């Protein structure tokens, strides 16, 4: 009896701390009776997510992560879902992030949820906005029966994708995901849609999803009438209410061998924006669908049907609710997709006129995102292309990762037409298409996201610019303007071939993580629960050796970096026949 009393007294004296409530949620109650919220539950993904790195195939990674996530969400959300259903409160549960979206939560419900032990955070479902093209250069109506002898677009030639076409490397066997304003089945991309069985027969199950269930409150064109949207809501067939998504898909996978980087790849799509306006939950819904596509009823998810790449051209500025208090939510989603073997490509944004640290919005700021800036005809940075380093999350992260053609990029738009647009939104699809080409040429690269990133960065045509932001310069590689340089698909193929032919690529062992990155006083190499024996070598940008150490059966290496100068460093870990490489950044101490 005494033990029972002590336990009860301890529980009474130390009740569970209430969940964090985003101040933006509380602000809503000063103006409205309800708030649109995302309730996040405590999660144990950090303990098992790295285990996917030990798996060889993309399919194994995707299945493992899908099953673990869904099982965790089912257990931790059970009580809250029962309460919401019993009280007839509209909600949607997610598993890619352990959370539940409640579009209209009143204050008593927020109080109740925040007191539950299993609830970690309650965040405002902030509006996200499309990274809109800088301007329309021209709208060009071209007959559907164009001559096949017409030259490829300038961006295709600049990255030498057409050189790979001449070698028979066209993206066959790969799948690209479009998370955007939707997609129209334009004649130039209808044939590359995975749901096209033949030109007259379509199957949209597992190939199309619409996350737009209501009109967006910040869209000035919206009213309560769904017919005000050109597509409507919850549409069951591919549709684009803006042009943007159709344009980016054309650059990735148009079948005409003129516009699309990977003309024989397939694409699938999820509409996440209502005429350019989205929310945290519409993006999460699409990301979850890409992790495990479903039928048109949202049932029977199948991670084996996930795409190899997801292209994203959207951002969320602070004015619209994205701030350091909720950055971690979307970053965790993208980190999960990367662990599942899905390459996430994003546009850096078109705020280059703001100068230093104009890459400031999710998802371009995240470490697991592969962020893409834009270059012009003369191979210089486009004036609008946003620059690093990333300061909004205090990481000083070097972004972009890479740049690609993004000026006067001609591609498909609605109503069977073509248009040339400027923007980092136009650059990102060049990278997504190139990833498809690499996987098509070397199927063993499927699911090996970090290796693909390494290949793209190492093979980029190095570019510099006399541009300085504090201790960061545009004259080093990588830099805060071009990243590692301008994309070159042919050089990426050659780099991949060399790496694979030497037998140094093997992803079945531990997933090596260097942290913190950027670092200042010390650096840790963690082997994600496994052990390695071998040698660690670190050198600076000039090739000078900074550190060398042999090790036997260790699970981590900890370094003291006092005396090192600020800048970029490259590491190499030799472990038998395996070689691991990467880069780290030392910021001012």
Catalytic residue numbers read: 180, 244, 425
Tallying the residues shown for the chain, one arrives at 589
- Cα dihedral across residues 100, 101, 104, 105: positive or negative: positive
| Burial category of 227 from C-beta neighbours within 10 Å (exposed 0-12, middle 13-18, buried 19 and up) | exposed
The whole-angstrom separation of Cα 354 and Cα 348 is 13
Decide: 556 and 522 in contact? Cβ < 8 Å: no
> Please, what's the largest Cα pairwise distance for the chain?
89
Neighbours of 378 (CB within 10 A): 6
**Contact criterion met (CB below 8 Å) for 398 and 472:** yes
Name which of 192, 258, 173, 196 is nearest 437 in CA terms: 173
Q: Do the Cβ atoms of 49 and 339 come closer than 8 Å? A: yes
Question: Which residues lie across from 402 on neighbouring strands?
Answer: 372
Decide: 101 and 38 in contact? Cβ < 8 Å. yes
- Rounded CA gap, 539 and 550, in Å? 15
Cα angle vertex 41, ends 35, 46, to 5°? 135
Q: Dihedral angle at the C-alpha atoms of 353, 137, 486, 328, nearest 10 degrees?
A: 60
Q: How far apart are the first and last CA of the chain?
A: 57
**559 phi, psi to nearest 5 deg:** -120, 145
Q: Which residues of 167-188 are buried (b: 16+ CB within 10 A; e: fewer)?
A: eebbbeebbbbbbbbbbbbbeb
Q: How far apart are CA 120 and CA 278, in angstroms?
A: 24
Is there a contact between 567 and 585 (Cβ–Cβ < 8 Å)?
yes
| Cα–Cα dist 255/251, whole Å | 10
Question: Starting from the edge strand earliest in sequence, which strands make up the sheet with 567-575, in order?
Answer: 545-554, 532-540, 567-575, 578-586
Of 446, 435, 434, whose CA–CA distance to 505 is shortest?
A: 446
Backbone angles phi, psi at 325, to 5 degrees: -70, -20
CB contact set of 460 (below 8 Å; sequence gap of 6+): 402, 403, 482, 483, 484, 485, 486, 487, 488, 491
Q: What is the DSSP letter of 390?
A: B
Given a contact cutoff of 8 angstroms between Cβ atoms, the answer to whether 432 and 309 are in contact is yes
Pinpoint the alpha helices (H) of 340-376: none
Q: Cβ distance 244 to 181 under 8 Å?
A: yes
């Amino acid at each position: 009896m005494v033990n029972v009393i002590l336990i009860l007294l301890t529980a009474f004296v130390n009740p569970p701390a209430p969940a964090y409530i985003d101040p933006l949620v509380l602000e809503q109650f000063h103006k409205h009776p309800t708030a649109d919220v995302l309730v996040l539950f405590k999660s144990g993904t950090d303990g098992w997510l790295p285990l996917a790195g030990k798996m060889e195939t993309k399919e194994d990674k995707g299945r493992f992560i899908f099953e673990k996530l869904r099982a965790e969400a089912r257990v931790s959300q059970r009580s809250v879902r029962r309460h919401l259903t019993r009280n007839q409160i509209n909600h949607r549960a997610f598993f890619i992030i352990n959370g539940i979206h409640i579009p209209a939560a009143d204050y008593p419900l927020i109080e109740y949820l925040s007191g539950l032990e299993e609830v970690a955070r309650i965040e405002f479902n902030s509006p996200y906005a499309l990274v809109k093209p800088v301007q329309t250069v021209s709208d060009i109506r071209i007959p559907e029966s164009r001559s096949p002898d017409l030259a490829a677009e300038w961006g295709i030639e600049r990255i030498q994708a057409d050189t790979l076409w001449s070698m028979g490397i066209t993206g066959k066997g790969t799948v690209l995901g479009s998370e955007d304003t939707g997609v129209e089945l334009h004649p130039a991309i209808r044939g590359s849609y995975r749901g096209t069985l033949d030109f007259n027969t379509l199957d949209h199950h597992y190939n199309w999803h619409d996350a737009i269930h209501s009109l967006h409150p910040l869209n000035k064109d919206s009213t309560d009438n769904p017919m005000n949207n050109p597509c409507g809501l919850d549409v069951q067939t591919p549709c684009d209410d803006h042009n943007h998504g159709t344009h980016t898909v054309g650059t990735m996978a148009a079948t005409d061998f003129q516009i699309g980087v990977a003309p024989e790849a397939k694409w699938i799509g999820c509409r996440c924006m209502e005429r350019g306006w989205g929310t945290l939950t519409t993006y999460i819904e699409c990301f979850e669908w890409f992790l495990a596509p479903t039928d048109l009823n949202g049932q029977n998810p199948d991670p084996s049907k996930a795409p190899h790449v997801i292209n994203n051209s959207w951002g969320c500025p602070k004015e619209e609710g994205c701030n350091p208090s909720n950055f971690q939510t979307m970053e965790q989603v993208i980190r999960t997709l990367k662990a599942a073997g899905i390459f996430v490509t994003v546009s850096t944004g078109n705020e280059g006129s703001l100068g230093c640290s104009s890459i400031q919005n999710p998802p371009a700021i995240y470490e697991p995102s592969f962020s893409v800036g834009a270059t012009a005809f003369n191979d210089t940075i486009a004036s609008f292309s946003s620059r690093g380093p990333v300061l909004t999350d205090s990481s000083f992260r070097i972004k972009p990762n890479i740049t690609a053609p993004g000026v006067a990029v001609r591609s498909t738009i609605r109503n069977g037409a073509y248009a040339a647009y400027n923007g980092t939104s136009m650059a990102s699809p060049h990278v997504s298409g190139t990833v498809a080409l690499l996987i098509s040429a070397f199927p063993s690269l499927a699911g090996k996201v970090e290796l693909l990133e390494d290949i793209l960065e190492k093979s980029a045509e190095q570019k510099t610019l006399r541009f300085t932001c504090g201790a960061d310069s545009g004259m080093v590689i990588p830099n805060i303007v071009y990243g590692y340089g301008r994309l070159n698909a042919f050089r990426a193929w050659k780099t991949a071939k060399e790496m694979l032919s030497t037998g140094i690529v093997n992803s079945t062992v531990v997933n090596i993580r260097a942290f913190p990155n950027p670092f200042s006083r010390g650096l840790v190499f963690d082997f994600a629960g496994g052990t390695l024996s071998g040698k660690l070598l670190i050198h600076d940008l000039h090739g000078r050796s900074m550190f060398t150490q042999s090790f036997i059966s260790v699970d981590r290496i900890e370094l003291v970096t006092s005396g090192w100068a600020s800048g970029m460093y490259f590491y190499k870990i030799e472990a038998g026949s395996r070689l691991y490489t990467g880069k780290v950044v030392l910021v001012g101490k």
